[in-house]
Amino acid sequence: MKPHDLPTELVPAAGGVRLTLRALSKRFGPREVLRDNHLDIAPGEFVAIVGRSGCGKSTLLRLVAGLDSPSSGELLIDGTPVQGLRESTRIMFQDSRLLPWARVLDNVALGLPAAERERARDVLAQVGLGDRTGDWPARLSGGQRQRVALARALVHRPRLLLLDEPLGALDALTRIEMHALIEGLWQRHGFTALLVTHDVQEAVALADRVLLIEDGAIALDQRIALPRPRRQGDPAFAALEKTILDRVLQLPDAEPATPDASWPPAAAHALRWAI
Amino acid sequence: MNRPYQAVLQRLLPWLVPLGLIAVWQISAQTGWLSSRVLPAPWDVLRAAAALATSGELWTHVQVSAGRALLGLAIGGGLGLLLGLLTGSVRTAETLLDSTIQMVRNIPALALIPLVILWFGIDEAAKLFLISVAVFFPIYLNTFHGIRNVDPGLIEMGRTYGLSRWGLYTRIILPGALSSILVGLRFSLGLMWVILIVAETISAQAGIGYLTMNAREFLQTDVVLVGILLYALLGKLADVFARALERWWLRWHPGYQRVAGGAA
């Protein structure tokens, strides 16, 4: 933010930040959306957060982005408590949120000093849209819009990139393309990435760690040690995906110790009728 | 092979009725069915217009009328834009001013005429006041709603991407409200001519209204018709101008992009 901080931002591949949550909670009125979350993310790590809708995963991302402030607990970047929006953090939204009245290049250069506009062109080339700089966003497909949004986030050389279900509205083929693109750019730029998604396959394809949030708390922290680039047909990939998915859906074989507790409610109801 | 012929026919067909009417009008005036005091022949109207144009009288009157209208638009529309931006952007300004403005809005501008004559007499200030009052409200309302309807997601995005308050305003809020503001402008332009005509008909020492009222006293129906046509022409011109503004400023909008083959 301060002028003398700027040069460090401009160093290419500034690397990722260490992100730490300490007893982070968030309440909206009487409703507790996140409760007492502890988390430590290493610099440059790619972490995916999965969970059912309404579990609090997007709220967590908004807290980390500085768009909302926690009700209690602390958020630390590289060991220092932070509040509010930061230069080093960029967020990519589910809807691309491009300015429809600005051409592609101007969208990417949004918030950049005039002297650095050329960099926007480079980043657009990196996401494969170097030839669309003069187009209106309305002329782009959904996948192209998300690539522009990705370029807009990366042009600021973020050290923490937050992705809020950025591929949720795209078709399956475009998603696979986008996975490769995001993975490649992440490896190249070295930022810390936090991806919120409801697609377990996407989480396993991209992340070093998959977190499951349930009822506002981190319920599972699964490390994904598969070599990159990952293949979706791979047996190890499929096994991990199934483990996490079963846990999300709370299928009985995910928790063999307490089968009764995880029976679907309909079954319990039917049982009572039988008696 | 007769497709080009059909295309030409399709384009000419809408002109058939108006041209026919004018022909009937010309014939009935020439044969004396239609008294020239009621409606002079179209040819006579054209001749009157040409005479006024060559004497230079026409241009002075058009200038005076257009000047009045535009000055009124600048004052009323400018105030409407400023206040709309203010109440749209600042909550306190909205609670303080908006309900008052909404109440005053229900008074038709033309109902103010007796009061305006009492206040300003019948000279220039009265006309400017009436036009300003009339054009104020459409621009105010549409600016206010335009700003309120800017996608909050875009504003949030702008904040996270490090835009200053000024940057947010010029890059996101104003462009987002622009289509609505232009709708207000088009409404205002329509009202502007109506009020101008009424105000000039009441009294004027120059302008198209003066031209027609003067001609009425001397039973020059052809000149009266020239005046009416001039008003129509100016109104059309203003609308064309507003649409050109829309096409330029909203060229990013799929709804305003020229579609190949579509009529402009």
**A&B contacts, CB < 8 Å:** 56
Question: What's the CA gap between B128 and B65, in Å, rounded?
Answer: 11
Q: Can you list the domains of chain B with their CATH numbers?
A: 41-250 (1.10.3720.10)
pLDDT of residue B1: 52
Q: Is B78 on the interface with A (CB under 8 A)?
A: no
pLDDT (tens digit per residue) in B15-43: 899 899 999 999 998 888 888 888 888 88
* Amino acid of residue A69: S
Q: Topology of domain A3-88+158-274, per CATH?
A: Rossmann fold (3.40.50)
Residue B138 reports pLDDT greater than 90: yes
Of all residues in chain A, the percent with pLDDT exceeding 90 is: 57
Contacts of B150 (CB under 8 A, 6+ apart): B172, B173, B176, B177
pLDDT (tens digit per residue) in A167-221: 988 888 888 889 999 999 999 999 999 999 989 999 999 999 999 998 889 999 9
Judged by CB atoms within 8 Å, which residues 180-209 of B form the interface with A?
Answer: none
Spell out which residues of chain B touch residue A65, defining contact as CB-CB under 8 Å: 160
Spell out which residues of chain A touch residue B171, defining contact as CB-CB under 8 Å: 99, 102, 110
CB-count burial class (<10 Å; 0-12, 13-18, 19+) for B249: middle
Taking residues B97-126, what's their average pLDDT? Answer: 89
Eight-class DSSP state of B243? H
**In Å, how far are A118, A267, A269 from A261, measured between CA atoms?**
58, 12, 13
pLDDT of residue A248: 87
Going by pLDDT thresholds of 50, 70 and 90, the confidence category of residue A252 is low
Query: Cβ of B154 and A97 within 8 Å?
Result: yes
Residue A228 reports pLDDT greater than 90: no
Residue A114 reports pLDDT greater than 50: yes
Closest-CA residue of B relative to A67 is B160
What ranges in chain A are assigned the alpha helix state H?
A: 6-10, 57-65, 104-108, 117-126, 142-154, 172-189, 200-206, 235-249, 265-274
| Candidates B151, B157, B180, partner chain A, best to mutate (most A CBs within 10 A) | B157
Spell out which residues of chain A touch residue B162, defining contact as CB-CB under 8 Å: 85, 87, 111, 156
Buried b / exposed e over B105-137, threshold 16 CB at 10 Å, is eeeebeebbeebeeeeeeebebbbbbbbbbbbb
Contact between B102 and B96 under an 8 Å Cβ cutoff? The reply is: no
pLDDT (tens digit per residue) in A33-52: 999 999 999 999 999 999 88
Provide the residue ranges of all domains of chain A, joining segments of one domain with +. Answer: 3-88+158-274
Taking residues A19-31, what's their average pLDDT? Answer: 91
pLDDT of residue A249: 86
Spell out which residues of chain B touch residue A100, defining contact as CB-CB under 8 Å: 252-253
Taking residues B99-128, what's their average pLDDT? Answer: 89
Contact between A127 and A104 under an 8 Å Cβ cutoff? The reply is: no
Query: Cβ of A85 and B253 within 8 Å?
Result: no
pLDDT (tens digit per residue) in B206-264: 889 899 998 888 888 899 999 999 999 999 999 999 999 999 999 898 887 654 333 33
| Candidates B150, B160, B173, partner chain A, best to mutate (most A CBs within 10 A) | B160
Out of B160, B162, B253, name the one closest to residue A67 (CB): B160
